[in-house]
Copies of this chain bind each other. A is one copy, B any other.
């Protein structure tokens, strides 16, 4: 199996980059090299982030805010400094628009809950409608199902075309004057589809609906500019973008964050508390109850520094080239069916597929025996599987340290799977 690696200009210097990631040296199953193609589930963490985490705990650890001692001031400066970094990374108009959560799921639930408890004009209730899509991650479905059950609001969604794109043909019937919120994924975690933000945002603005964008699979892989997106809220998660686990982000427009009610109560989210009533701190603190994930925010700041030092445009280009190559090579495998776009056009680096009748669990297991880590299952996007009449998929997903050689290893591995179950 020859790898036409020479023919792929524009890739990153993965040899250098891979040195930053200790885990990529891991050997599995009697010495097989790890081929980590499960980046859509979680990314690996570079030395630069791990060092910052250790330094935080070894030098500066303290609870943030309200402290007058040195450690508390250092920890606060680091934590709030991470907010500045994230704000710059997504081109937020104000640092106060960046809320730290524990993961993207909390960010999404936070918006759903704010809207459920909001006053007019934001309040979601039985007269109103919520719009999502059939390609959402469960974390952008279940919060809206819960909100719909609890408020009586109607939940609607965009369906999918056969080639893994949103079917926007009936956009005017789906997003209507009753729509209060449209929440959709920027890049699908199961199919890699990049969605047409502008068309949806335009229609939402027409009817005065708020827009929440789930950028969990976008923030790690491309330039994310919340102003250019023109959304009202953008959610993403640290562990998919070289950051630690336990940290997520919700960006929201300042006026909205001022108007909307808090979600979790306690700790630092208050202005003043008496037994009878409390008032709340201004955003972002209003939405950060309790001791925040301090070290994790600081780690995310370091991750953002790391990604920026390489360049998000360069990372996007690298992944695009690799995806183009992978899509082509995968289609050479007999009986392999890609679920989602079959070209690299408007798609990210997560590629789902089925392989004949072989169950994805078996595909994944036999790949694992060769050191190749892919994810199998419904990828927390079961409606997509239902839509395409399959129980599950195998998903390979790439990142800045992925190489054409790893694509080749995957293709070889799949040949082996076919022979094994053939």
A311 within 8 A of B: no
A278 within 8 A of B: yes
By the criterion CB–CB under 8 Å, are B289 and A109 in contact? yes
By the criterion CB–CB under 8 Å, are A265 and B143 in contact? yes
A residues 251-287 touching B (CB-CB < 8 Å): 262, 264-270, 272-275, 277-278
Name the segment of A200-208, A224-232, A376-384 touching the other chain.
A376-384
By the criterion CB–CB under 8 Å, are A143 and B105 in contact? no
A296 within 8 A of B: yes
Chain B, residue nearest A53 (CB):
B53
By the criterion CB–CB under 8 Å, are A68 and B266 in contact? no
Which residues of B lie under 8 Å from residue A244 when comparing CB positions?
57, 246, 295-296
Which residues of B lie under 8 Å from residue A122 when comparing CB positions?
none
Which residues of B lie under 8 Å from residue A28 when comparing CB positions?
70
Given the contacts A23-B57, A41-B63, A291-B245, A143 and B68 also touching, CB distance less than 8 Å: no
A239 within 8 A of B: yes
By the criterion CB–CB under 8 Å, are B68 and A368 in contact? yes
Cα distance A23–B62 in the bound complex, in angstroms? 10
A343 within 8 A of B: no
A residues 286-314 touching B (CB-CB < 8 Å): 289-296
* A18 CB to nearest B CB, Å: 14
Chain B, residue nearest A112 (CB):
B265
Chain B, residue nearest A42 (CB):
B63
A364 within 8 A of B: yes
Among B142, B265, B266, point to the contact of A265 (Cβ < 8 A): B142
Cα distance A117–B140 in the bound complex, in angstroms? 20
Cα distance A361–B50 in the bound complex, in angstroms? 35
Given the contacts A57-B50, A72-B373, A245-B291, A157 and B275 also touching, CB distance less than 8 Å: yes
Which residues of B lie under 8 Å from residue A129 when comparing CB positions?
none
Which residues of B lie under 8 Å from residue A141 when comparing CB positions?
265-266, 273, 275, 278
By the criterion CB–CB under 8 Å, are B296 and A245 in contact? yes
A102 within 8 A of B: yes
Cα distance A117–B141 in the bound complex, in angstroms? 19
By the criterion CB–CB under 8 Å, are A134 and B361 in contact? no
By the criterion CB–CB under 8 Å, are A373 and B70 in contact? yes
Cα distance A419–B31 in the bound complex, in angstroms? 68
* A278 CB to nearest B CB, Å: 6
A residues 57-80 touching B (CB-CB < 8 Å): 57-63, 66-72
By the criterion CB–CB under 8 Å, are A266 and B41 in contact? no
Which residues of B lie under 8 Å from residue A368 when comparing CB positions?
68-70
By the criterion CB–CB under 8 Å, are B67 and A29 in contact? no
* A273 CB to nearest B CB, Å: 5
* A30 CB to nearest B CB, Å: 12
* A116 CB to nearest B CB, Å: 9
By the criterion CB–CB under 8 Å, are B273 and A383 in contact? yes
By the criterion CB–CB under 8 Å, are B289 and A23 in contact? no
Cα distance A273–B239 in the bound complex, in angstroms? 24
Which residues of B lie under 8 Å from residue A62 when comparing CB positions?
38, 41-42, 373
Which residues of B lie under 8 Å from residue A289 when comparing CB positions?
105-106, 109, 139, 142
Complex A-B: 20 CB contacts under 8 Å: A26-B59, A53-B53, A62-B373, A63-B239, A66-B376, A69-B368, A69-B374, A102-B290, A103-B267, A105-B264, A109-B266, A142-B265, A142-B278, A143-B264, A239-B291, A245-B292, A266-B380, A273-B383, A293-B296, A296-B296
Q: Which 6 A-B pairs give the minimum distances between C-beta atoms? A: A105-B290, A139-B266, A142-B265, A246-B293, A246-B246, A69-B373
